[in-house]
A and B are shown apart, each in its own frame.
Chain A
Amino acid sequence: MTVLAIVRKELTLYFTSFLFYALAAVFLVLAGYFFYTNLGFFVLMGGMDLPRGLWQFEFLDVQRLLIVLVPLLTMRLFAEERKLGTLELLWTYPVRDGEVIAGKFLGCLMVVTLMIAATAVYPLLVARFYPVVAGPLVAGYLGLWLLAAAFVACGLCVSALTDSQLVAGAATYGVLLFFWVVTWNEAAVNEVTRSLLVPFSLFDRFYLFARGAVDTKDVIYLVLFTVAFLAVTFLALDTRRWRGVR
């Protein structure tokens, strides 16, 4: 399977790069710190409802960490290969563009999944001295994972448009921030504009997951967001037909 070959190569490159370990360390230290403060808050306020009082805040914090960290992981996916010239070489093998995109997307998503999965120690820790219900956690992690897939797809797409990792990373922040803040200033626009914008807010989609509920609409939105960016990636790579390889 050529997709698997590309997944493997991407994983090798991540796991041999210092960047991955630095980002994973930052992620785990910050997620742990957030967990520590959230737990303190929960205990201090005499909370009883774990999903509402603790997990919700932890998931929202991890989500913010992902916005910061995922673009740093995705920026190299195509931009680096373009700069190195290896992308040109990739197109000479009997591999379809879709397979290359799928391999890179899955490889990067696996790395992010690994980082998210490491945060599962917190519920396991809590479960040692307090009854934990699995359902809301599963919903939260599903939401987090779908969100991560959307971020990765977005970063992959932007990375396919440039040969500069820096530009790819910065532009991915731009796109993700836009989808984050699009509904922040709801009062500033009229009713019609707001009703057009609200459905596109990526992050409003996550609140229900964080509270332990799964709405099919949200799942579909996140999946569509991911697929849309993967499709644009495909189109971006196809421009080499008339634009050349650079």
Chain B
Amino acid sequence: MPAPMIEVRGLTKTFGPIEAVAGISFRVERGEIVGFLGPNGAGKTTTLRILAGIFPPTTGEVRLAGRDAAREPLACRRLVGYFPEYAPFYPDLRVAGYLRFVARLKRLPRADREPAVAAVLAACGLEGVAERRIGTLSKGYRQRVGLAQALCGDPPILILDEPTIGLDPGQVVEIRDLVRRLEGKRTVFFSSHILSEVEALCERVIVIARGRLVGEGTPLELSARLGSRRRIVLRVDGPADAVAKALAVLPGVERVERGVAGFVLEGARDADAARAAGEAMQRRGWPILELREEAPDLEDVFLRLVGDGERRA
């Protein structure tokens, strides 16, 4: 089995009396897109900065593609494209000139630099503004320049710190699409506190609070671990009162809600309430218009995880 692209073991970081990261461990496999969640001040940015090689951890180990970041800091930095929060930029440099500068700093061989710059300009939709000064660009374009410098030189690992913060909804969608296109090709580890974004982009999330890991897994696994109930949405062509009565007595169904569009059942985790509901409707000859199990709400899961984490701390 190949080494995981990112492996973190017992990571801590203290700044004077402040403990920003209090011992976290996790791994990210090749080609995964993993979301890094936590409330503000949880230690997300500090963790990402350590991964990007800005400063070393106080204790603990970071391995990127099997390489020890403490022993080979420069080799590890070559594997990583980093997008810092708020996408800092040099206002007076031109987009293409800036990316050439980045390509040189990333030690790309001379012959590869121009193709690399052209490739990221195209990937981030920046061809039209290549000769503009970065300071004159709109926020969305600047954010793309930030992403372009991270992508420059094709690093296998991308670390993105709040890539969509401060953007308007259209721009958020653009950046998300850019990240989604990387799926499978790159390992992407990104922090966010926008839950819908994490749900839309990643199959796995890591949640921290107060510098500690409080949850890890797919949104489904996390909610299962917390013992959340399953939610089933049902729309049926039948007399509403009779339907509600029939649903309420089904095994495994704990609560029936009557919404505008239909019924919402809350069922125990281990019972298959959806099947029971479907069979019950069929037996009575009421046509089912819609029957689906709703994905667990990550927001609930997140709040519960973070709440637990803060209570423990």
Contact = CB atoms under 8 A, between A and B. Distances in A.
Interface of A: 1-2, 4-6, 8-9, 12-13, 16-17, 84-86, 88-96, 240-245
A78 to B, nearest CB: 14
Interface residues on B, range: 20 to 34
Nearest to A100: B105
Nearest to A99: B105
A241 B13 CA distance: 10
B262 interface: no
Contacts of B82: 89, 92
23 contacts: A1-B104, A2-B104, A5-B101, A5-B104, A9-B93, A13-B92, A13-B93, A17-B92, A84-B89, A85-B84, A85-B88, A86-B88, A86-B90, A88-B49, A88-B84, A88-B88, A91-B52, A91-B53, A94-B74, A94-B106, A95-B74, A240-B54, A243-B16
B51 to A, nearest CB: 9
> Nearest 8 A-B pairs (CB), nearest first?
A85-B88, A5-B104, A92-B82, A93-B105, A92-B52, A94-B74, A94-B77, A91-B54
Contact of A94 (B49, B107, B149): B107
B55 interface: yes
B97 A12 contact: yes
A120 B267 CA distance: 88
Interface string B93-116: 100010001101111000000000
Contacts of B49: 88, 245
A17 B133 CA distance: 13
A86 B134 CA distance: 13
A12 to B, nearest CB: 7
Nearest to A243: B15
B35 interface: no
A8 B93 CA distance: 11
Contacts of B106: 93-94
B80 interface: yes
Nearest to B98: A9
Contacts of B101: 5, 8-9
B120 to A, nearest CB: 15
A242 B46 CA distance: 12
Given A84-B88, A91-B52, 11 more contacts: A1-B104, A5-B104, A85-B84, A91-B54, A92-B82, A240-B55, A241-B56, A242-B16, A245-B49, A245-B54, A245-B55
